[in-house]
Amino acid sequence: MESPNPSIPIPKPGTGTAGVLREIAWAFLKLGSTAFGGPAAHIAIMEQEFVRHRRWLTHAEFLDLLGATNLIPGPNSTEMAIHIGHRRGGWLGLIIAGVCFILPAMLIVGGIAWAYVRFGTLPQAAGLLYGVKPVIVAIIVQALWSLARTAVKTKWLALAALMAAALSACGVDELLILFGTAFAVLVARSLGREKATNVMAFLPLLTAPTTSAVAAGTTVVAPFSLWALFLFFAKVGSVLFGSGYVLLAFLRADLVERWHWLTESQLLDAIAVGQITPGPVFTTATFIGYILGGPTAALLATVGIFLPAFIFVAISGPLIPRLRAWPLTGAFLDGLNVASLALMAVVTFHLGHAALIDWTTVLLAVIAAVLLLRYKLNSAWLVLGGAAAGMCIGH
Residues 6+ apart with CB under 8 A from 304: 229, 230, 231, 232, 233, 234, 236, 237, 285
Q: Is the pLDDT of residue 88 over 60?
A: yes
Burial group, residue 163, by CB count within 10 angstroms (0-12, 13-18, 19+):
buried
Q: What is the pLDDT of residues 252-293, one digit of tens each?
A: 778 887 898 998 778 867 876 776 788 888 898 999 999 999
Computed over every residue of the chain, the mean pLDDT equals 80
3-class DSSP state of 344 = helix
Q: Is the pLDDT of residue 198 over 60?
A: no
In this predicted structure, what is the pLDDT of residue 93?
Answer: 94
Q: Is the pLDDT of residue 19 over 80?
A: yes
Q: Is the pLDDT of residue 83 over 90?
A: yes
Average pLDDT over residues 13-38: 82
User: Got the DSSP string for 142-168?
Assistant: HHHHHHHHHH--SHHHHHHHHHHHHHH
Give the integer Cα–Cα distance in Å for 188 and 198. 8
Which range among 48-57, 158-167, 196-205 shows the weakest confidence by mean pLDDT? 196-205
Q: Is the pLDDT of residue 199 over 60?
A: no
Q: Is the pLDDT of residue 371 over 60?
A: yes
Express as a percent the part of the chain with pLDDT over 90: 28
Burial 118-131 (b: 16+ CB within 10 A, else e): eeeebeebebbbbb
Does the predicted TM-score (pTM) go above 0.85? Answer: no
Q: If you ran DSSP here, which 8-state letter would residue 311 be given?
A: H
Q: Is the pLDDT of residue 4 over 50?
A: no
Q: What is the pLDDT of residues 115-157, one digit of tens each?
A: 888 876 666 566 776 887 788 788 778 878 877 888 888 888 9
Average pLDDT over residues 35-51: 85
In this predicted structure, what is the pLDDT of residue 205?
Answer: 53
Question: pLDDT band at residue 224, thresholds of 50, 70 and 90?
Answer: confident
Residue 14 near residue 90 (C-beta atoms within 8 A): yes
